[in-house]
Chain A
Amino acid sequence: MSAALLEVRDLRVELKRGKQQLTALDGISFAIAPGEVLGVVGESGAGKSLTGAAIIDLLVPPLKRTGGEIVLSGRHLDALSREDMRKVRGRRIGFIAQDPMTSLNPVLTIGQQLVDTIVTHLPVSKEEARQRAVRWIARVGLSDPARRLDQYPHQLSGGMRQRVVIALALCAEPELVIADEPTTALDVSVQAHVLQVLRDLHEETGVAVMLITHDLGVIAKMADRVAVLYAGRVAEIGPTSEVLRTPRHPYTSGLMRATVAPGLDRKALDPIPGSMPNLSSIPPGCAFNPRCARATAECRSQRPPLVDYRDGAGKHACFHPLEDGR
């Protein structure tokens, strides 16, 4: 895995609540190869968005990264100064924000926001940046791009704004883009268009994507590999087709069975019993053990390590993995 574009090792994020020190991310490890799409799934609160924010150092206090390594093309991001980290954001790692309705500055034009981002990172003139901005607007599929530059966010619809957000994330030509639930805030009919734009740009530019979502359907369509998070830990990671067809971790399998998919009758819907624990009450051993039918005494006392299966194509953290995905 030395050829990885981004490598995250043993990432820890903690927060202080009162006198309690709580662990939000507990030893997250994964890697993204150049040009790859890594899906990151899990329930709300599993730590998906936190992982993304921790990588680009955008954690909001009291959340704090307290350990682990983040390496981008051989460069340790975890040791960078504030100013050096700023230069990485946007230029090396783009970020697609979740809610297009609130993520664009309401009092600046689309063009100003694009041009600002471009000239911050690339050695081009304002005029050149403006021309690039026009091209980016066209690339994300908005009509009449030259006129769009002078419009304000409130003059665009939600789907159009999310396209602008994507253009903003990619306009300084990063090698990796972190897409934090890019379609969650959109209407279903618009979601497909926005995903298509993201996919087209991924194919055109070769940018690697870390796609954070709770939607397994989106993962199935977009991701080469998928990481399943649970309670701030990686439950399972591997090639998407492999993980979705024959999940090893009981949690992944539970997620699959709880997913609403067209063509399934009502009986097939099978929610996972219980709910994900609070940060303050993560059980000892495997975090999933209270909800797991296969849990044993070992699961309740020891935390299962992330181990390889199938010659390292994938990894899971389970003492009693499923063999046939059931």
Chain B
Amino acid sequence: MLAYASGRLVQTVLVLVIISFIGFLLVSNLGDPLASLLTADSTAADRAAMIKALHLDEPITTRFLSFFGGLLQGDFGISYRSHEPVAKLIAERLPATVELALASLFITLLVAVPAGVHCGVHPRSALAKAIMFGSIAGVTLPNFVVGIALIGIFSVKLGWLPSFGRGQVVDLGFWRTGLLTASGLKAIILPAIALSTFQVALVIRLIRTQLMEVGLSDHVRFARARGLTDNRIWYVYALRNTLLPVVTMLGLQLGNIIAFSVVTENVFAWPGLGSLFLQSIQAADMPVISIYLILIGAMFMVINLFVELSYPLIDPRVLRRKA
């Protein structure tokens, strides 16, 4: 287990360094920092000082090392657009996006696991057919359409839930959360549902297919021959055997939600990373864009690391295969 874990960890760190390098190349090769940062009336001396301050006169390796060293210390550079530290911009936006992603993951699990198990166990029941039909809609409808429809029904028609923003947030010092206030909880429901529709449909289909296959296996038959209850057989004996692909996919999807919730965030005017990313692209704000990409890459890697570390817990045979 230790060898397995450290192997995964080394892999993750290696990929992170590579991602940072690509991010660095973006900043150093695209756009002109001097044009963005210097004002129209600045002198040649100002210009030289700026070059010095940004270390633009040094060789590329030195610059990468100082860039990478900065990353490790939380110094992410300066935004070309707002002239604020990138770290501050991201820290303001990150909690909103992460909370939205986790809320949608929670909804996904809450809905998709029982629905998927039902469809896998009774594939021919009327309910299963209805769920499968609905899940086609879930896979095909774009998130923003679902979002607009939800706003139309629950905000405009019924007036139950807010259509935009995060509600009231509580500052915990290191994290500003909307999950501790009533208005914050109300505000997160609609965007989280909109964001989860695709995941829900995908997970239902995945669990269903996997379960239908596992349901035919000898060990499930033998479990039934021993008189175990249906709940025990399906939720423990069979479901455990379907978790590897499901957890893998959930991990990738969680990364996806964090990285590409741009559209949903826009529909609900959610003050998260997605909207920051859009604004930065419009302003060609390279430091923010590259840090955003590095950060997303890092999140993917960390989520993936956790997913891979969970494999041996789900299926002990994983360790033997690696050994």
Closest Cβ neighbor of B219 among chain A residues: A105
Contact B222 A106 (CB under 8 A): no
B129 at interface, CB cutoff 8 A? no
In angstroms, how far is the closest chain A Cβ from the Cβ of B16?
A: 31
Contacts of A60 in B (CB 8 A): 216, 221
Contact A103 B219 (CB under 8 A): yes
Contact A120 B232 (CB under 8 A): yes
B52 at interface, CB cutoff 8 A? no
Q: In whole angstroms, what is the CA distance A105 to B237 when docked?
A: 7
A1 at interface, CB cutoff 8 A? no
Task: Encode contact with B along A75-104: 1 for CB under 8 Å, 0 otherwise.
Answer: 000000000001111110011011100111
Q: In whole angstroms, what is the CA distance A105 to B222 when docked?
A: 9
Contacts of A200 in B (CB 8 A): none
Q: Is the interface of B mostly helix, strand, loop or mixed?
A: helix
Contacts of B320 in A (CB 8 A): 154
Q: In whole angstroms, what is the CA distance A107 to B227 when docked?
A: 19
B122 at interface, CB cutoff 8 A? no
A108 at interface, CB cutoff 8 A? yes
Closest Cβ neighbor of A101 among chain B residues: B218
In angstroms, how far is the closest chain B Cβ from the Cβ of A46?
A: 21
Checking A56, A94, A116 against B232 with a beta-carbon cut-off of 8 angstroms, the contacting residue is A116
Contact B223 A87 (CB under 8 A): no
Contact A89 B314 (CB under 8 A): no
A172 at interface, CB cutoff 8 A? yes
Interface centre among A89, A91, A105, A169 (most CB of B within 10 A): A105
In angstroms, how far is the closest chain B Cβ from the Cβ of A285?
A: 36
Q: In whole angstroms, what is the CA distance A117 to B219 when docked?
A: 13
Q: In whole angstroms, what is the CA distance A60 to B221 when docked?
A: 10
Contacts of A124 in B (CB 8 A): none
Give residues 96-140 of A contacting B (CB, 8 Å): 97-99, 102-108, 113, 116-117, 120-121
Interface centre among A88, A116, A165 (most CB of B within 10 A): A116
Give residues 207-251 of B contacting A (CB, 8 Å): 216-219, 221-230, 232, 236-237, 240-241
Contacts of B236 in A (CB 8 A): 108, 116
How big is chain A's contact interface, by range? 20 to 34
In angstroms, how far is the closest chain B Cβ from the Cβ of A17?
A: 18
Checking A89, A104, A113, A169 against B224 with a beta-carbon cut-off of 8 angstroms, the contacting residue is A89
Contact B219 A120 (CB under 8 A): no
B58 at interface, CB cutoff 8 A? no
Checking B229, B315, B317 against A120 with a beta-carbon cut-off of 8 angstroms, the contacting residue is B229
Contact B226 A95 (CB under 8 A): yes
Contacts of A313 in B (CB 8 A): none
Closest Cβ neighbor of A102 among chain B residues: B218
Closest Cβ neighbor of B220 among chain A residues: A105
Contacts of B7 in A (CB 8 A): none
Contact B227 A102 (CB under 8 A): no
Q: In whole angstroms, what is the CA distance A114 to B219 when docked?
A: 13
Checking B216, B223, B225, B230 against A105 with a beta-carbon cut-off of 8 angstroms, the contacting residue is B223
Contacts of B173 in A (CB 8 A): none
Q: In whole angstroms, what is the CA distance A106 to B220 when docked?
A: 11
A156 at interface, CB cutoff 8 A? no
Q: In whole angstroms, what is the CA distance A152 to B318 when docked?
A: 12
In angstroms, how far is the closest chain A Cβ from the Cβ of B243?
A: 8
Given known pairs A102-B218, A120-B232, A154-B316, the reply for A108 and B227 (CB within 8 Å) is no
A168 at interface, CB cutoff 8 A? yes
Contact A89 B241 (CB under 8 A): no
In angstroms, how far is the closest chain A Cβ from the Cβ of B219?
A: 5
Q: In whole angstroms, what is the CA distance A113 to B222 when docked?
A: 11
Contact B314 A107 (CB under 8 A): yes
Contacts of B222 in A (CB 8 A): 95, 97, 103-104, 165, 168
Q: In whole angstroms, what is the CA distance A89 to B219 when docked?
A: 15
Q: In whole angstroms, what is the CA distance A165 to B219 when docked?
A: 10
Q: In whole angstroms, what is the CA distance A220 to B311 when docked?
A: 48
Q: In whole angstroms, what is the CA distance A169 to B320 when docked?
A: 28
A58 at interface, CB cutoff 8 A? yes
Contacts of B315 in A (CB 8 A): 106-107
CB-based closest 10 A-B pairs = A90-B227, A95-B225, A89-B227, A102-B218, A90-B226, A103-B222, A97-B222, A105-B219, A107-B240, A103-B218
Chosen A-B contacts, 22 in total, with CB atoms closer than 8 Å, are A58-B225, A60-B221, A86-B230, A87-B227, A94-B226, A106-B219, A106-B317, A107-B241, A107-B315, A107-B316, A116-B228, A117-B226, A117-B227, A117-B228, A120-B232, A121-B227, A152-B317, A154-B317, A165-B222, A168-B222, A172-B226, A172-B227
- B positions within 8 Å CB-CB of A: 216-219, 221-230, 232, 236-237, 240-241, 314-317, 320
